[in-house]
Structure 1
């Protein structure tokens, strides 16, 4: 997995420096669909306060955390262990047997962040802030704003890499449906069975445009290559993991990859090693229509046009509502083909 320094775009580098970054991003997007990003300029203090806030929430008693659950269609609040199945977002029926034991807490942009627009309250829901932790919201929002900046820097690079007009993606993301999901894989003893089927997070592709992931330097994340082999991935010092989502694969007619990945919890001496991660999902405007870029159509598009709303809601109905997604035929075929090669 390539490590790419994006300083040239963060610090206003020269045209040649930017061109080299865009070239490397394009190569990673076409061959892996994942990359490690350094030079993102998120201050260390922001990350430290953010991870401390995550720790404080996940350390709360389960009864307190479950007070912040929301209905499946509302992508906010707390998700307890074994309440989701990420593989069902691909429409894979056998995924109901998966043991997705992670717990998570979601926040995101709300309708109030885009005054003057009449946005669906279900999609742009208000956040739930734990009353037990008065400093939590500040630390989380400080990191969220930094991750949002990085995501938008990346779409600027994407436009250059794909030889699109400058600012091409802005029209699709000026009221983007963005969510920050904080994950915890360290559970109290006795809450899970340490058997061969244990899965922290089932195989899936991400739903939107691009994902910016902070993660502990601990094993667990695995990425599937083109030959059907799973590879362990751990972030380099100071790096963020970045991967493309389904909408970018649709835009580029799969010239850029939305790569299958999963989390297998590391079991050491009969216990699960602690692992935390936080994924910032940059998903685009709810009313944006995603269709194959003219330069990527080739012999024909693999996908019909779809709105971000249609795509994301079907995905969430699978992962959070445990309803098999019937609108992901190509994605389902990919995961089933990969399953044959485990």
Structure 2
């Protein structure tokens, strides 16, 4: 059977159209989540000029000299700049890569801050403090897109609740002060750089996303690959104007793996010894730090032994970040690691 990432028009929810129209969208999304775990979303309502402003802002920042970008590094924080080869996403799954810290992408993160919720006593260690580069319009353009991506993510969780029959406010209870992070990625090496790493060239290693749902803006450049149920890798490229959406680990936990937190990676094309540049911006909607995530009662099967143990969002995210950022295997990611290792023995 051929592999396909479904395209879903969510405008019925964005525009608050009829119940029947929304039900059709929820049904299509249920199939996509169960069979693929990835989808192309159109009708999302994010204006082209906001996306264009984001793209130009990426160019402004990543075009700076490395020594200037390094001024925006924030140790032990999910904020600021990450230079090439400072992370290994495969370790977030407990999988030892051929070369540790071999993901050559660079990134810049901003996100929801504890002070964004003044009525709550939130810990800045969970939410972080944003560091804004002193570039014209950087904060304004990135913040505008952040708000739009956040709106799309919350629209999606509304659709999730309808598709699962979980009640309209199910996700509100675990996302009303969500750890939302926007990660801007640049897959490129400086001109003249010799591509010689101590393992396979890896843009971003095999991983699943940590939270509830990810909304991804990306260039229409090859590189993103998704693992199917048969353990084969497939190239995925966004359609014109579409946003890519995939589920995270916490949604797999909520649905007892009825819906898939799909493994994916970035394998950048190398032409004549140089890497074709690729940009992407991932919005991670991870849930409240203190929320306890457990499987829906309606999806429990006490006889099959699949149900996940309840876990707080804080503990789950911390274990994943310790792998990708600090080089420590995440030994709790048993299922995901097994899928990566099995896929390594097969060819797409």
The TM-score range, normalised by the shorter chain, is over 0.9
Offset of residue 94 of structure 1: 3.4
Counterpart Cα distance in 2 of 1:186 and 1:117: 40
Match of 1:5 in 2: 9
Encode CA deviations 1:209-235: one digit per residue, 9 max, x unaligned.
000000000000000101111110000
> How has the CA–CA distance of structure 1 residues 266 and 158 changed in structure 2, closer, same or farther, with 3 Å as cutoff?
same
1:55 aligned onto 2:59: yes
Match of 1:230 among 225, 228, 233: 233
Match of 2:203 in 1: 200
Match of 2:264 among 241, 251, 261: 261
Match of 2:320 among 309, 315, 322: 315
Encode CA deviations 1:297-333: one digit per residue, 9 max, x unaligned.
1234431110000000000011011111122122222
Tell me the secondary structure at the aligned position of residue 324 of structure 1: coil
Q: Cα RMSD over matched residues? A: 1.3
Contact 1:228 1:341 in 2 (8 A): yes
Deviates more, 1:83-92 or 1:115-124: 115-124
Counterpart Cα distance in 2 of 1:94 and 1:231: 20
Give the 5 Å matches for 1:1-342. 1-72=5-76, 74-94=77-97, 96-97=99-100, 99-131=102-134, 133-193=135-195, 197-298=200-301, 299=303, 300-342=305-347
Counterpart Cα distance in 2 of 1:296 and 1:95: 38
Tell me the secondary structure at the aligned position of residue 29 of structure 1: helix
Counterpart Cα distance in 2 of 1:87 and 1:125: 24
Offset of residue 97 of structure 1: 4.0
The two structures have a TM-score, normalised by structure 1, of 0.97
Deviates more, 1:299-308 or 1:29-38: 299-308
> How has the CA–CA distance of structure 1 residues 211 and 33 changed in structure 2, closer, same or farther, with 3 Å as cutoff?
same
The two structures have a TM-score, normalised by structure 2, of 0.95
Tell me the secondary structure at the aligned position of residue 25 of structure 1: helix
Q: Which runs of 5+ in 1 are unaligned?
A: none
Counterpart Cα distance in 2 of 1:140 and 1:11: 24
Contact 2:87 2:101 in 1 (8 A): no
Counterpart Cα distance in 2 of 1:96 and 1:18: 46
Counterpart Cα distance in 1 of 2:194 and 2:320: 26
Contact 1:221 1:234 in 2 (8 A): yes
Deviates more, 1:171-180 or 1:296-305: 296-305
Contact 1:88 1:96 in 2 (8 A): no
**What count of residue pairs does the alignment treat as equivalent?**
340
Tell me the secondary structure at the aligned position of residue 100 of structure 1: coil
> How has the CA–CA distance of structure 1 residues 192 and 249 changed in structure 2, closer, same or farther, with 3 Å as cutoff?
farther
Contact 1:98 1:202 in 2 (8 A): no
Tell me the secondary structure at the aligned position of residue 123 of structure 1: helix
Q: Which runs of 5+ in 2 are unaligned?
A: none
